[in-house]
Amino acid sequence: MVGAKLLLTIQLITRMQKLAQEQNEKIEKVNRERKFHQVEAEHKEEEESEEGYEQESGDEYDDQGDKPRVCIK
């Protein structure tokens, strides 16, 4: 009788560990996807910011056309 209870307890614990591992893997996947999209959005924002600067300045030279413009971020 004690052996059967012990076996059931071990099976229950093993199943709980498996479910916890599966849940952790799902969470890690979501976190990786979130990080990917976050980095992608940051790169897109940087590109749009650079494009906006280029549109504002017109070209890479100052108003006299002889000195390169410098973009300080």
Give CA–CA dist 53/18, Å, rounded.
Answer: 53
* Structural domain spans, the chain: 1-43
The pLDDT tens digits of the residues spanning 17-50 come to 999 999 999 999 999 999 999 999 999 998 888 8
C-alpha distance from residue 13 to each of 6, 16, 53, 58, 62 (Å): 11, 5, 59, 67, 71
At 21 the pLDDT is 98
The pLDDT tens digits of the residues spanning 41-73 come to 999 998 888 877 666 555 555 556 565 555 565
